[in-house]
């Protein structure tokens, strides 16, 4: 299953790991990415620490833990999901483009006054959550 199908069909919890220019690490809960292609993902990011970090250091990792009962036959506690290794390539601040990427259940809602960024990432690698 490709990334687009995977993130359209599978539910779960996402965690984005970033580091600043000094290597100090941060992790944050993040929604599923918007898949542009198998090689490019987009996240809508607020003006917060994760965004500051990928501006200073373009490398990030995204862990997605699938919702549901673990499968004992898979080892590693049976947890399922993906690990994505990413490099920030560009960002945009056009509110119309950002709104166009929002999922239907989030479109048209008031998202506050915080500045938003449409941040593009190249997918450097993918691995299963457990076992690779």
pLDDT in tens, 21-60: 999 999 999 999 999 999 999 999 999 999 999 999 999 9
Burial class (CB in 10 A: 0-12, 13-18, 19+), 12: middle
CATH superfamily of 3-128: Electron Transport, Fmn-binding Protein; Chain A (2.30.110.10)
Residue 107 confidence (pLDDT) above 70: no
Identify the residue whose tokens are 């945009």: 92
Q: For residue 12, give every residue at least 6 positions away whose Cβ sits within 8 Å of its Cβ, in sequence order, or none.
A: 32, 64, 65, 66, 67, 81
Most confident of 45-49, 71-75, 79-83: 45-49
Domain ranges, ordered by start, for the chain: 3-128
């Amino acid at each position: 299953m490709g990334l687009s199908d995977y993130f359209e069909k599978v539910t779960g919890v996402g965690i984005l790991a970033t580091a600043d220019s000094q290597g100090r690490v941060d992790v944050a809960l993040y929604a599923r990415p918007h898949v542009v292609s198998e090689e490019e993902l987009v996240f809508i990011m607020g003006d917060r620490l994760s965004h500051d970090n990928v501006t200073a250091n373009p490398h990030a990792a995204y862990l997605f833990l699938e919702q549901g009962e673990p499968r004992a036959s898979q080892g590693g506690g049976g947890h399922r999901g993906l690990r994505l290794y990413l490099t920030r390539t560009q960002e945009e601040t056009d509110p119309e483009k950002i709104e166009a990427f929002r999922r239907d259940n989030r479109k048209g809602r008031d998202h506050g006054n915080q500045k938003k960024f449409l941040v593009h990432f190249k997918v450097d690698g993918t691995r299963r959550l457990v076992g690779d």
